[in-house]
Amino acid sequence: MDSKLKKLASLIKSKDAKVIFFVGAGISTNCGIPDFRSPKTGLYSNLQKLNLPFPEAVFDINYFKRNPKAFYTLAEEMYPGKYLPSKFHYFIRLCQEKKILKRCYTQNIDALERVAGVHEDYIVEAHGSFAKIHCIKCHTEMDSVTWKKLMKKGIPRCQKCKSYVKPDIVFFGESLPAKFFDLWEKDSKDDFTVAIVAGTSLEVYPFAVLPSEISSKTTRVLINREICADFEDCPRKSDLVMLADCDHAVNKLVDLLGWQDDLEILIEEGKKLIESPATFTLEDSYTTDKKKKTSEAEKTARALAKKVAEVEKVATPGKDDTSVDELIKGIEKIDIKSVRAKK
């Protein structure tokens, strides 16, 4: 991996370098946010305890209109301001500060690119985010302060027409943002120095095809737990594939670039903006500690499991406090192990 990182560093430091990113959930797992599909720790796995008709129903617009509780159970855990961005997020910000960032296409809904200080002009949130909230019927916008206050009382409703409101996250059954298509039409014709694909299995379309449409003059880089999509099916001779944790790779890369101090400054500034920085960790997932420590993602998964159990208490008439407590204890006893998420 070291020789490939040296090659990547050389490209980034080249004259008039232009860098584009394509990122997924894998850049956020070190922040304490579980990914969606990992067994036991995955968000879908925990939310399934709400007896969803299928795991993805939490992001199905038709299901939301009938039963928004499942989504709002998730929203309470994932709302921005609770999680500190990862080193990889701050590396994207650092590329912006160095004036080499051209675009960041993200599948993530956590808005951590924004929290890290990446300007909205550079970000394309392919699947939307928590950044804005609208009514699903009349489309009236609701400010985040009002939305969070209403969430504490129950399911937020539009103050104009009383229909449900939700963040501008793209649900199944909804169209992707126009910004995604408009900017990709432009960006796909550009020649970038480097296209960095990180923390994604590239399984969800149309996002999955973007790296395959990048110009042949651009060096594609994959930083991921495993090889995937076009990097496996139609590899290019110039591809740089590094099967590694995203933050682990960035740590080494910024050292080679001589940007470590700059990165640390951004991270320290970011900590001051987060309401509860102690909740999160920037520790690299590659640890030499032989003791099995509970990861931040596992802690979040357990917190979500408790919320699910409490929801079951309300949703199931006759279920007393004792049975709910037993359910919570049972969930907590599940042998949650560190799972290398498929990204």
Query: Active-site residues: which are they?
Result: 127
Q: Which amino acid is at 315?
A: A
Which secondary-structure segment (H or E) carries 169?
Answer: strand 165-169
| 128-159 burial: b if 16+ Cβ within 10 Å, else e | bbbbebebbeeeeebeeeebeebeeeeebebe
Report the distance separating Cα 297 and Cα 129, nearest Å: 20
Strand order of the β-sheet with 128-135 is 141-142, 128-135, 165-169
Report the distance separating Cα 190 and Cα 19, nearest Å: 11
**Is the four-CA dihedral 252, 255, 257, 262 of positive or negative sign?**
positive
Report the distance separating Cα 147 and Cα 144, nearest Å: 5
